[in-house]
Amino acid sequence: DYDKASEIADPQVNQQQRKLLSNAIAKADNATISNPQVNQVQSTNGQSIATVSYSINGKTVDDSLSISKSGSQFVIFPHWKITTPLVKSITVSAPDTVDSLSVNGVEVTAKNAEKTGDGTWNLRVYPGTYAISTGKSDYVTSRTVSVRTNESTEALLNVKATSKLQEALSTA
């Protein structure tokens, strides 16, 4: 439940960029992790590092997150807060003319990502598999590129002109 995870833990991502940390992104086939396990927890001074493992597309990934005590529940049970979540980055390169991306079928604009002037998009996501292509456009399109956060987290979108753009250029 990505929505609940973002409520429980501060994903350290600004509010507009949390669009990629939502259940809408997780709905795609094979998008989310499976078989999550906590392997070890090491604590010092109220701060703990949890070593975890999970599977993405059948491959086991080892990772870690930081948690800290933030009070108690029912007086005796400690309440924990995730201080360093499992948020990953995906870098997408596309021509600067691309105004939006489609990530697992969800339209993402520059306000939902960190986009630089050279067409590089930095997407903040939870571990998983992401299908990325150009967003809805009358003039450009691309093939869908699959990115898994446990493998290469860089994608290059090869953009092609649509027939509508070709017609507009011919008319002009």
- Global pTM reads 0.82
- Taking the CA atoms of residue 165, residue 166, residue 167 and residue 171 in that order, the dihedral angle to the nearest 10 degrees is 100
- Helix intervals (H) in 44-137: none
**Per-residue pLDDT reduced to its tens digit, 37-85:** 999 999 888 788 999 999 988 899 999 988 887 777 777 887 777 888 8
* Low-confidence winner among 7-11, 55-59, 65-69, 132-136 (lowest mean pLDDT): 7-11
Mean pLDDT of 157-167: 85
What's the rounded Cα separation, in Å, for the pair 61 and 139?
39
CA atoms within 13 A on the CB side of 27: 9
